[in-house]
């Protein structure tokens, strides 16, 4: 056992069907420290925490709490053993009062003493400066208040380990500072705090130590002073900072006329999904990309461009003419197509055939009361199945029985069929095999060569460098840089993502 360790996890493994969510992960939390758990989406942070709190049973490894080996069976068990948790999503009951949410499941005796919990809760809420009455029904409170109530509940437990899983995502600056003060107080009392967040600034503001996970494996544990931001980012993304062997994309980039009228131009575009207003333009034949860590706002930005989320302010010009894009149909009519990030949720209509899925967008634009004839639809579908070499038994096969890569191609076909002048592809290569990934990248470059404009988003920086001629870098909902030409290399990108001193 390490000196002063309040919690030790050794060789933790967790498998889900077909996925190794955690593989041999070690984690040590010392008394009175704030320990950041970092990693990109799917790195296994949340899984590790859910194993620790007994939500998921572990498939291997040992957990030691204050030197005693423990087996945590359920969230209740974890709570009794002194592990308090604030989860990323709010895990309180909206139909109960604030006070009850703070004390339910952790009071002694079979009865609820209303007077006492209301008094205690009121006192605690006052202490923490949470502006809500203890007897208010939780569902009537704002999300930020609800999150603060969850935090109040956790800190009130006499805990040895406090887990905060992205507690700051719905809090404003002031509330975050309040939370940090609270965290430092608890730290001084010897509580070990695990802090999960994707805001790098916050990590460097409040944490003592960082553990980085990637793809379910441990990358390493570092003292905060030893790990500058840019190193942290490179560890999270799994790219060596000094790796200079980048393949620069072809020479097409030089041919783009950056002085001409942009195909699409947005000025001060403001959405409601937490991104700061931003300017953006794209030229004919250009492939650009949005990059940044998960949660940096790259998807939200393109969704705002397409009108998929509500846009509240800003000017949009298509080929120099001012237009209004309020909803996806407006964008489609102006020749913008969007391939969403989550194809299961936003993209495919699982039970419809491949053919119906391909002609869907075109049908929407034509209007539902003027259906395509069967022969027409078959001809179109056939053409694109060949063009993109979609592997399907027939046009009539339901799309849900296709592989992920082929589903992606069908959606791509759908948008190509609409013959857009500007195509937005949000993570088109996620979860598909390498061969198809390369095919899709080639297709993107081919489309650009034909004079279409493409915005391409990918979590893999390699892919972005290979396909894009210009990269917009985002951090914490803000555009923080634009890279092109020689700046388009891993080092520069990571430095920009990390920001601050590097």
Partner 1 sequence: MSINSNALGSNKLKKRASLTDTNLLLIITIAVFVVMYICAVVFLKKGFTKPQMFFNILNENASLLVLSCGMTLVMITGGIDISVGQVTSLVCMACAVHLEKNGGNVFTSILIALGIGLAFGIVQGFLVAYLEFQPFIVTLAGLFFAKGMTTIVCSDRVAVTFEPFVKLCRTEITVPFMGSVNKKGIYIPAYVEVGVIVALVVVILLFCLLRWTKLGRNFYAVGGNNQSANMLGINVKLTKFLAHVLCGLCAGIGGYLFFLHACSGSPLHAQGAEMNAIASSIIGGTLLSGGVGNIIGTLFGVLSLSTIKNIVTSLGLEDAWWTNITVGVMLCIFLLVQSVILARKNNKKK
- Which positions touch partner 1 (CB under 8 A)? 53, 55, 74-76, 78-80, 85, 87, 90-97, 100-101, 104-107, 109-112, 114, 126, 129, 131-137, 139-142
Which whole-number Å values give the CA distances from 287 to 107, 227, 301, in the listed order?
59, 34, 16
Taking the complex as a whole, how short is the minimal distance between the CB of residue 306 and partner 1, in angstroms? 26
Taking the complex as a whole, how short is the minimal distance between the CB of residue 115 and partner 1, in angstroms? 11
CA atoms within 13 A on the CB side of 470: 20
Helix (H, G, I), strand (E, B) or coil at 203: helix
What H or E segment, with its residue span, contains residue 326? none
Helix (H, G, I), strand (E, B) or coil at 14: strand
Taking the complex as a whole, how short is the minimal distance between the CB of residue 193 and partner 1, in angstroms? 18
**Which one-letter DSSP state was computed for residue 137?**
B
Which whole-number Å values give the CA distances from 13 to 7, 20, 164, in the listed order?
17, 8, 21
- Total residue count of the chain as it appears in this document: 502
Among residues 76 and 401, whose Cβ is nearest to partner 1? 76
Among residues 54 and 340, whose Cβ is nearest to partner 1? 54
**Which one-letter DSSP state was computed for residue 97?**
B
Under the phi-then-psi rule, with left for phi > 0, alpha for psi from -120 to 50, and beta for the rest, what region is 215? left
Among residues 95 and 419, whose Cβ is nearest to partner 1? 95
Q: Which two tokens stand for residue 480?
A: 């923080």
Taking the complex as a whole, how short is the minimal distance between the CB of residue 351 and partner 1, in angstroms? 23
Angle, vertex CA 194, rays to CA 191 and CA 196, nearest 5? 150
Among residues 53 and 441, whose Cβ is nearest to partner 1? 53
Taking the complex as a whole, how short is the minimal distance between the CB of residue 235 and partner 1, in angstroms? 30
Among residues 66 and 133, whose Cβ is nearest to partner 1? 133
Among residues 78 and 230, whose Cβ is nearest to partner 1? 78
Q: Which two tokens stand for residue 272?
A: 């409601």
**Which one-letter DSSP state was computed for residue 342?**
-
Taking the complex as a whole, how short is the minimal distance between the CB of residue 111 and partner 1, in angstroms? 5
Q: Which two tokens stand for residue 418?
A: 């609409």
CA dist., res. 140 & res. 132, Å (int): 10
Taking the complex as a whole, how short is the minimal distance between the CB of residue 159 and partner 1, in angstroms? 12
Among residues 133 and 397, whose Cβ is nearest to partner 1? 133
Taking the complex as a whole, how short is the minimal distance between the CB of residue 33 and partner 1, in angstroms? 25
The neighbouring-strand residues paired with 289 are 456, 471
CA dist., res. 192 & res. 408, Å (int): 44
> Closest Cα partner for 430 from 298, 318, 336?
298
Give just the sign of the alpha carbon dihedral 143, 146, 150, 152.
positive
Among residues 105 and 431, whose Cβ is nearest to partner 1? 105
Taking the complex as a whole, how short is the minimal distance between the CB of residue 229 and partner 1, in angstroms? 33
SS (H, E, C) 407-431: HHHHHHHHHHHCCCCEEEEECCCCC
**Which one-letter DSSP state was computed for residue 475?**
E
Taking the complex as a whole, how short is the minimal distance between the CB of residue 130 and partner 1, in angstroms? 8
Among residues 83 and 454, whose Cβ is nearest to partner 1? 83
Taking the complex as a whole, how short is the minimal distance between the CB of residue 110 and partner 1, in angstroms? 5
DSSP-derived pairing of the beta strands 453-457 and 422-426: parallel
CA dist., res. 478 & res. 87, Å (int): 25
Rg value, the chain, Cα: 25
């Amino acid at each position: 056992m390490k000196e002063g360790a309040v919690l030790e996890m050794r060789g933790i493994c967790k498998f889900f069907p077909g996925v190794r969510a955690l593989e041999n992960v070690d984690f040590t939390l010392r008394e009175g420290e704030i320990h950041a758990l970092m990693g990109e989406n799917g790195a296994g942070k949340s899984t590790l925490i859910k194993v620790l709190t007994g939500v998921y049973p572990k498939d291997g490894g040992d957990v030691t709490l204050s030197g005693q080996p423990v087996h945590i069976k359920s969230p209740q068990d974890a709570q009794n053993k002194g592990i308090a948790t604030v989860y990323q999503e709010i895990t309180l009951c909206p139909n109960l009062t604030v006070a009850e949410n703070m004390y339910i499941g952790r009071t002694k005796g079979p009865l609820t003493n209303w007077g006492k919990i209301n008094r205690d809760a009121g006192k605690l809420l006052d202490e923490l400066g949470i502006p809500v009455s203890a007897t208010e029904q939780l569902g009537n409170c704002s999300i930020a208040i609800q999150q603060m109530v969850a935090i109040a509940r956790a800190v009130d437990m006499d805990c040895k380990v406090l887990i905060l899983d992205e507690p700051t995502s719905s809090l404003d600056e002031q509330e975050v500072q309040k939370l940090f003060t609270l965290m430092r107080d608890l730290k001084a009392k010897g509580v070990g705090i695990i802090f999960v967040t994707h805001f790098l600034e916050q990590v460097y503001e409040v944490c003592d130590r960082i553990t980085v996970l990637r793809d379910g494996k441990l990358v390493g544990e570092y003292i905060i002073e030893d790990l500058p931001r840019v190193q942290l980012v490179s560890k999270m993304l799994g790219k060596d900072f000094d790796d200079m062997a980048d393949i620069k994309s072809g020479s097409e980039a030089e041919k783009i006329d950056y002085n001409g009228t942009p195909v699409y131009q947005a000025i001060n575009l403001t959405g409601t999904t937490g991104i700061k207003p931003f300017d953006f333009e794209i030229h004919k034949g250009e492939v650009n990309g949005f990059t940044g860590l998960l949660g940096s706002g790259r998807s939200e930005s393109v969704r705002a461009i397409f009108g998929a989320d509500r846009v509240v302010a800003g000017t949009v010009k298509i080929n120099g003419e001012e237009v209004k894009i309020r909803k996806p149909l407006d964008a489609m009519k102006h020749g913008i197509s969007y391939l969403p990030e989550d194809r299961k949720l936003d993209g495919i209509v699982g039970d419809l055939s491949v053919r119906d899925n391909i002609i869907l967008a075109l049908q929407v634009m034509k209007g539902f009361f003027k259906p395509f004839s069967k022969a027409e639809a078959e001809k179109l579908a056939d053409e694109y199945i060949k063009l993109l070499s979609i592997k399907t038994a027939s046009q009539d096969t339901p799309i849900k029985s296709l592989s992920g890569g082929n589903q992606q191609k069908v959606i791509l076909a759908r948008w190509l069929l609409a013959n857009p002048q500007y195509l937005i592809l949000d993570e088109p290569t996620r979860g598909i095999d390498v061969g198809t990934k390369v095919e899709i990248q080639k297709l993107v470059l081919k489309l650009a060569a034909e004079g279409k404009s493409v915005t391409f988003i990918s979590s893999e920086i390699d892919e972005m460098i290979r396909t894009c001629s210009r990269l917009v870098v985002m951090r914490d909902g803000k555009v923080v840089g634009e890279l092109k030409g020689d700046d388009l290399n891993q080092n520069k990108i990571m430095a920009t993502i990390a920001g601050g001193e590097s």
